[in-house]
Structure 1
Amino acid sequence: MKTDTISAEGIDHIDRIEDALQAIRRGSLVVVVDDEDRENEGDLVMAAEFATSAAVAFMVRYTSGVLCVALPGERLDALCLPLMVPRGNEAMQTAFTVTVDCRHGTTTGISASDRAITIRALVDPRASADDFNRPGHLFPLRAMPDGVLERPGHTEATVDLCRLAGLRAGGVLAEVVNDDGSMARLPQLIAFARQHGLPIVTIRDLIAYRERMHDTVAGACDALAA
């Protein structure tokens, strides 16, 4: 299913959600695009547990450089990371928490190596609140409990993709920009994904994928109950 808000010339260049999940499982990056009538932006996304210095450096080079880590609320609560602003007035209601750096194995926290360490630590079940300095250079984001079915944002899409891939529920994301610093839109995002051999998928297709999964599970439960 392709969204009618994606321009006709772009539809044929959008990959399947299954392609993105395979890439996520391999520790690769994917490009995730929201609707043209929403932010109309694309984020580089990868599973947090696979973050490396090379991947972070790539993200910094081709994005705004502001790296976020999308996490479920229960993980953020366990790490004692409250919202940066309790009732923000930002248009998209992006749920930023206080920023962090990992205390162990890092220096200033800003290098690609340091940020990769912090990203991995945020989804490491052995890490606790005491393992992080506040403030820091990574921006955790609080995902809505029901993912893209509740909010069609990049935060929720990142957590959903990691969960659907069978990985820890958390991923790093950053917004792709053009060489002049302007935000990359769909034609540029498609060209970027093809240039670097990355899958490109839409949040609308992820919503449809999750809805199909829900219908399949519900149908199986009904059959067992019959």
Structure 2
Amino acid sequence: MRASASAGGAFDAFAAGRVILLVDDGVSGGAGYLTVAAEHAWPKSVAFIVRHTSGFICVAMTESRADELRIPPMCWPDSRNAGASHSGGARPGYRVTVDAKENVSTGISAADRATTIRKLASPNARVGDLSLPGHVVPACAASGGLAARAGPTEALVELSTLVGVQPVAAFAEIVSKDDPTRMVRGHELLSFAVKHDVALLTIGSLTPRTCQRGGLAAIVASGESEWPDTHANQPDVSGSTQRTWERGF
């Protein structure tokens, strides 16, 4: 496997419904998120995400999508804490937690959450298809996209749009295996990507500047990124990475 140092490999994996590793190289100082397109969120993928993260699964979407489904804000704009964030950046637009009303039991299992996540992406979803509160956290991207806030919600809406899937994606932050009391940072993310055979993409590679210069591979080659080309002398995506995709991760 190779932890992709080019946007293309991660784009293809995400479009095909595989879990990828998104690295926040800006707002959250190197945080890593396992993510999957919501329309492809099947129980096995969600179980993989739950097993390796905090289990706090958010679903990135546009504000208009959340409004369309009448999911109210978790906190109103005039709240004393509006805009606050542990990382110093703007907080994503969290909405009240939801569950799908049909084909779920308690709502917390990977299978139940997968059903809810897919419902959030379904073009056929209607007001009334969701119960509130629930076990999945909608998180709205800033209306200005990555230009307004270079966070995971904005990146995932952008990525989904670029690859042609519904602009809705599930994500959760990875917990360190070396120290389960903290979240993963830095090169432990690279080790995770290699061990679990998942493509890696940084948020920075989705910005207009990076895309115009050829993606993350160009940034690596220029020496501007801390993320090395872990694909050097490794097989193409049709090799071992494809085998992981067939396992459904």
Specify the TM-score bucket, using the shorter chain as the normaliser.
0.7 to 0.9
Letter in 2 for 1:203: I
Distance 1:132 1:13, change over 3 A: closer
Segment drifting more, 178-187 vs 112-121 = 178-187
Gaps of 5+ in 2: 214-249
Q: Partners of 1:29 and 1:190 in 2: how far apart? A: 15
- Conserved in 1, the CA contact under 8 Å of 2:103 and 2:112? yes
Deviations 1:102-145 (A, max 9, x none): 00100110001100000000010111120000000000001123
Q: Pick from 72, 81, 84: which aligns with 1:90?
A: 84
- TM-score, scaled to structure 1: 0.84
Correspondence 1:57-96 to 2 at 5 A: 57-87=47-77, 88-91=82-85, 92=89, 93-96=91-94
Aligned residues: 202
Q: How many percent of aligned residue pairs carry the same amino acid? A: 37
1:190 aligns with 2:190: yes
Correspondence 1:17-166 to 2 at 5 A: 17-35=7-25, 38-87=28-77, 88-91=82-85, 92=89, 93-166=91-164
Letter in 1 for 2:50: V
- Conserved in 2, the CA contact under 8 Å of 1:69 and 1:173? yes
Q: CA RMSD in A?
A: 1.9
- For 1:219, the equivalent position in structure 2 comes to none
Segment drifting more, 187-196 vs 89-98 = 89-98
Higher helix proportion, which one? 1
- Conserved in 1, the CA contact under 8 Å of 2:23 and 2:30? yes
SS of structure 1 residue aligned to 2:93: coil
- For 1:3, the equivalent position in structure 2 comes to none
- Conserved in 2, the CA contact under 8 Å of 1:148 and 1:157? yes
Gaps of 5+ in 1: 1-11, 214-226
Q: Partners of 1:209 and 1:48 in 2: how far apart? A: 27
- For 1:206, the equivalent position in structure 2 comes to 206
Q: Which ranges of 4 or more aligned residues in structure 1 deviate by more than 4 Å?
A: none
Letter in 2 for 1:57: A
